[in-house]
């Protein structure tokens, strides 16, 4: 089990892709059921890995793939390509959880090229799990960039509005150009050390000048993915035009690649450069919190509002990371996991409204509680968790993030704390406007949530409160990873 855990996970996904490929494209029901079964089996596999997790070591479930690199390039590949630790384990589980949910919420909405759509989702899951388990920086970069391809197709082909092709190219080129700087940083790193193996680089003391140049390359790439202000311009357009499954994957997992990269690579491998650039990044993070919150307050589109709220929440993530404290790094991971659950659920909820009323403009909504009381109840729970009320998982994450911010600097902590005030303002305004008041004459008296729609939201809502009361199953493996991590020690 310890040697083949990751291998079995990837084997399940590849078998699922082969199964879906072998089913006739006109058999929609069989295609959806097959994809759902394989993704649920993958989710079960990741939960087994979590259940069998041991606290005696850091990187676990290694999957050896040595000896396949071309000798002409003379790359010094390490003995381990893939393994997971307390940081990457929960991104693994989050990815496995969101993929079957994407299939469920798209059950009736994808009307053409269903086979290709399901293949994109499965291929995207393979790439994301590879990103979170790669122990070689070059392999990480290849998979990191490979994620753009299926996401580009999801937005451009199955997007919901007329500008979907433009939004897909906008997303692709903006993030691709940012990632080129990471490749330049990798070239510089390899020219100095002769290796791109993560475990080898942990014990390599890089010169300060090299650290700074490599850090700039990584920062420009990861800041676009998070995204930090002013690198966030692509995000709202991509969310608005993407299908609901694309928005869920984008908000739930893809935005976390930047934070994961900072946690995994910049501080452990480039501690001197991270310290040097910390004041600048802290300033950008606080700017993202304030600007993202204020911009969210003035949005008139449901999806854009949720998208801009992600900018503010992810600003809190980078702020926590670059305080360079154990509390801050733990808070960053908790914040990314909590945001991945709640933001994904909010995108699903606003899509349910759009599918019934064919508009996302907030001004047309009022009094939905009269026709959809169950939806308004669930939407209210999500609104409260997005505001980080106790005892939600978001409260634990935001409390620790602000604690780390106040430890770093009192002024920065106060400015970051204003984000919670603005989050309450735009969340309560949206909930009150949509749910209550005299029913709008622009809306139809439509049906409430059905069982399939509730089934998609349930796995995202209940963990938020379970982990808010009992977060130790996440904190215990995480503390082990942060203590062993040379940068975080």
Quote the pLDDT of residue 121. Answer: 93
Using a 10 angstrom Cβ sphere, with 0-12 exposed, 13-18 middle and 19 or more buried, the burial of residue 436 is middle
- Compute how many other C-beta atoms are within 10 angstroms of the C-beta atom of residue 10: 18
| CB of 343 closer than 8 Å to CB of 384 | no
- The predicted-structure confidence for 121-142, as pLDDT tens digits, reads as follows 999 999 999 999 888 888 899 9
Residue (of 159, 156, 155, 109) closest to 355 by Cα position? 109
Within 10 angstroms of residue 265's Cβ, the number of other Cβ atoms is: 23
- The answer for residues whose C-beta is within 8 angstroms of residue 309's C-beta and 6 or more apart is 292, 293, 296, 343, 386, 423, 426
At 197, give phi and psi (nearest 5°): -75, 125
Domain ranges within the chain, ordered by starting residue: 5-54+78-483
Mean pLDDT along residues 370-375: 88
Share of the chain above pLDDT 90, in %: 27
Q: What is the pLDDT of residue 355?
A: 85
Amino acid 70: pLDDT: 33
Looking at residue 419, its pLDDT comes to 85
Q: Give the three-state DSSP class for 366.
A: coil
Q: Given a cut of 50, is residue 71 above it in pLDDT?
A: no
pLDDT 10s digits, 381-397: 999 998 888 888 989 99
H/E element holding 459? helix 451-469
HSE of 126 in the Cβ direction (CA atoms, 13 Å)? 21
Q: Dihedral sign, CA of 386, 390, 393, 398?
A: positive
What CA–CA distance (Å, rounded) separates 69 from 89?
Answer: 26
The C-alpha torsion from 274 through 275 and 276 to 278, rounded to 10°, is 80
Are 403 and 327 within 8 A, CB to CB? yes
Q: What is the mean pLDDT of residues 342-352?
A: 92
The Cα 9–Cα 279 span in angstroms is: 40
Is the pLDDT reported for residue 403 higher than 60? yes
pLDDT, tens digit, for every residue of 290-343?
Answer: 998 898 888 888 888 998 888 888 889 999 999 888 888 888 999 999 999 999
User: Is residue 471 over pLDDT 50?
Assistant: yes
Average pLDDT of the segment spanning 66-88: 53
3-state helix, strand, coil in the chain (%, to 5): 75, 0, 25
Residue 6 is encoded by which pair of tokens? Answer: 């990751």
Q: What is the DSSP string of 397-429?
A: HHHHHHHHHHHH-HHHHHHHHHHHHHHHHHHHH
Q: Are 434 and 305 in contact (CB under 8 A)?
A: no
Residue-wise pLDDT tens digits, 210-239: 888 999 999 999 998 888 888 888 888 888
Statement: residue 189 has pLDDT above 70? yes
DSSP-derived secondary structure for 257-300: HHHHHIIIIIHHH-HHHHHHHHHHHHHHHHHHHHHHHHHHHT--
**How far is residue 432's CA from residue 228's CA, in Å, rounded to a whole number?**
29
Query: According to the model, what pLDDT value does residue 63 have?
Result: 60
pLDDT in tens, 83-93: 888 888 889 99
Mean pLDDT of 441-446: 74
- Provide the pLDDT confidence category of residue 279 given band limits of 50, 70 and 90: very high
pLDDT at 72: 29
At residue 310, the pLDDT reads 87
Taking 50 as the threshold, does the pLDDT of residue 69 lie above it?
Answer: no
pLDDT, position 122:
93
- Is the separation of the CB atoms in 223 and 315 below 8 Å? no
The lowest-confidence range among 52-61, 103-112, 160-169 is 52-61
Question: How big is the CA angle at 199 (ends 195 and 202), to the nearest 5 degrees?
Answer: 90
Q: Give the pLDDT score at 66.
A: 46
- Cα separation, 480 vs 482, in Å, equals 6
Beta partners for residue 84, in sequence order: 60
Residue 422 above 70 pLDDT? yes
Phi, psi of 7 (to 5 degrees): -60, -40
To the nearest whole number, what is the mean pLDDT of the chain?
85
Averaged pLDDT for residues 410-426:
88
Q: Could you tell me which of 392, 379, 483 has the C-alpha nearest to residue 432?
A: 379
pLDDT, mean of residues 158-173: 82
Residue identified by tokens 């079960």 is 44
* C-alpha–C-alpha distance, residues 193 and 212, integer Å: 15
Q: What is the pLDDT of residue 57?
A: 58
Nearest to 2 by CA among 79, 63, 45: 63
Q: Is the pLDDT of residue 410 over 60?
A: yes
* For residue 482, pLDDT beyond 80: no
Residues in the chain: 489
Cα distance between residue 300 and residue 360, in whole Å:
8
Q: Given the structure tokens 């911010």, which residue do they identify?
A: 405
Closest to 484 (Cα-Cα) out of 57, 51, 196, 198: 57
pLDDT at 3: 44
């Amino acid at each position: 089990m310890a040697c083949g855990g990751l291998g079995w996970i990837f084997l399940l996904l590849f078998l699922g892709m082969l199964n879906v490929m072998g089913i006739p494209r006109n058999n929609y029901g069989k295609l959806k059921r097959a994809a759902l079964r394989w993704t649920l089996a993958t989710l079960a596999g990741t939960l087994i890995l979590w259940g069998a997790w041991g606290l005696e070591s850091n990187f676990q479930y290694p999957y050896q793939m040595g000896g396949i690199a071309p000798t002409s390039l003379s790359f010094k590949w390490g003995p381990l390509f893939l393994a997971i630790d307390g940081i990457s384990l929960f991104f693994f589980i989050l990815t496995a959880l969101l993929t079957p949910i994407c299939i469920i919420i798209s059950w009736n909405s994808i009307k053409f090229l269903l086979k290709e759509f399901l293949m994109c989702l499965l291929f995207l899951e393979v790439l994301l799990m590879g990103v979170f388990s790669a122990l070689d920086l070059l392999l990480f970069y290849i998979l990191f960039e490979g994620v753009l391809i299926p996401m580009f197709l999801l937005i451009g082909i199955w997007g919901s509005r007329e500008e979907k092709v433009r939004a897909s190219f906008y997303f692709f080129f903006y993030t691709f150009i940012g990632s080129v700087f990471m490749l330049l940083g990798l070239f510089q790193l390899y020219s100095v050390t002769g290796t791109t193996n993560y475990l080898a680089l942990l014990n390599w003391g890089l010169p300060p000048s090299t650290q700074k140049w490599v850090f700039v390359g990584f920062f420009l790439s990861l800041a676009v993915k998070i995204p930090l202000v002013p690198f966030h311009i692509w995000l709202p357009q991509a969310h608005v035009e993407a299908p609901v499954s694309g928005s869920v994957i984008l908000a739930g997992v893809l935005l976390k690649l930047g934070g994961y990269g900072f946690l995994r690579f910049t501080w452990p491998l480039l501690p001197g450069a991270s310290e040097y650039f910390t004041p600048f990044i802290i300033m950008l993070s606080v700017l993202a919190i304030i600007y993202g919150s204020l911009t969210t307050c003035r949005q008139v589109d449901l999806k854009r509002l949720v998208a801009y709220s992600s900018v503010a929440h992810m600003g809190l993530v980078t702020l926590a990371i670059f305080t360079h404290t154990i509390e801050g790094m733990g808070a960053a991971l908790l914040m990314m996991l909590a945001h991945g659950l709640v933001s994904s659920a909010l995108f699903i909820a606003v899509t349910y409204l759009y599918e019934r009323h064919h508009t996302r403009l907030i001004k047309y909504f009022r009094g939905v509680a009269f026709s959809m009381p169950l939806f308004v109840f669930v939407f209210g729970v999500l609104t409260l968790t997005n505001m980080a009320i106790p005892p939600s998982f978001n409260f634990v994450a935001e409390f620790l993030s602000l604690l780390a911010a106040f430890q770093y600097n009192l002024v920065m902590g106060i400015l970051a704390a204003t984000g919670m005030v603005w989050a309450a303002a735009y969340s309560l305004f949206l909930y009150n406007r949509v749910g209550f008041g005299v029913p709008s004459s622009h809306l139809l008296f439509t049906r409430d949530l059905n069982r399939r729609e509730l089934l998609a939201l349930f796995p995202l809502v209940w963990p938020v409160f379970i982990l808010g009361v009992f977060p130790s199953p996440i904190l215990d493996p995480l503390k082990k990873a942060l203590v062993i991590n040379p940068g975080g020690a």
